[in-house]
Amino acid sequence: MVGAPDPPDRGLAVDDRLFSPRFPRSNAYHPDWVLAGVGGGANPLWLTEWLAEGLDLRPEMRVLDLGCGRGLSSVFLRREFGVRVWATDLWFDPTENLHRARDAGAADGVFPVRADARMLPFPAGFFDAVVSVDSFMYYGTDDLYLNSLARFVRPGGQVGVALAGFLTEIDDPVPAHLAGWWAAEMPYCLHSAGWWRRHWERTGILDVTLADTLPDGWQFWRDWLKLAAPANETEIRAVEADAGRHVGYVRAVGRRRADAQLFDPLMSVPAEYALRPLLRGPG
């Protein structure tokens, strides 16, 4: 339980796992359902709820949930905000995600897709918003990636990410209390909110409206791991030892600029081969 008050006495046993006053929308979802959908190192509902606070989501908007895992974030977005969600992931089975959406009463607005984040099969300008929950670090650090992704968002549309990160950038040498986790997990892809702001702003593609850190994020990280992945002792010990000095959760939100100049990274160069002399001189 994450900083929750004692549950009210209703004469019945109350399952208070994953209950947190910080995330009132997430509290409505049964912990067994959430834990059955574990796909990563963060509670997808907590991070999605936090990210949504910085977005302007309206019913029937088209939203790309990029790196959706087992689709909990997609179901949450559909049920809580009425948006239509393309639940897209490379690693997780879209058929499983469809069953999960149907059982949650969200299949009318959750459309599972298997796709690589670098080879998305959507039309240009199709989405009103792109969200990514605890997966953007695996591909979004590429200097050219935002250009590729922004093509699928209409001008003025939103891009928002929430993910594990650092409060400030960590340079060598790595702090001793993080060294074991660092060697085991190689978290060089994690960055601070300030890093994400600079990474996006320098492209001229997005107007960054928000880049910040979740207060006490390390506690939510630790408490989720203890419940969802108790065998991950290396990471749990590192997060506990750090106690919010370096690690936590970060989010960034921006809007696609109407004047952004984008290029198509999938364009092909026409074949123009013609035989030419290989060497100088006779023969």
The number of distinct structural domains making up the chain is 1
Residue 21, in any domain of the structure: no
Residue 277, in any domain of the structure: no
Residue 147, in any domain of the structure: yes
Which residue has tokens 């990274």?
Answer: 265
Residue 273, in any domain of the structure: no
Which residues span the domain enclosing 60? 26-256
Residue 122, in any domain of the structure: yes
Residue 15, in any domain of the structure: no
Q: Which of 35, 109, 41 is nearest to 72 (CA)?
A: 35
Q: Mean pLDDT, consecutive 10-residue segments, the chain of 283 residues?
A: 44 77 97 92 96 98 98 98 98 97 98 97 97 96 96 97 95 87 78 97 97 97 95 94 96 97 79 91 71
Q: Cα(266)–Cα(71) distance, rounded to whole angstroms? A: 28
Name, in order, each residue with C-beta under 8 angstroms of 80's C-beta and a sequence gap of 6 or more. Answer: 25, 49, 52
Cα–Cα distance list, 89 to 20, 34, 74, 116, 238 (Å): 28, 18, 11, 7, 28
Our CA angle for 100, 145, 259, nearest 5°, is 110
Residue 250, in any domain of the structure: yes
Cα–Cα distance list, 183 to 16, 52, 156, 240 (Å): 35, 33, 41, 17
Residue 53: give its domain's CATH number.
3.40.50.150
* pTM (2 d.p.): 0.90
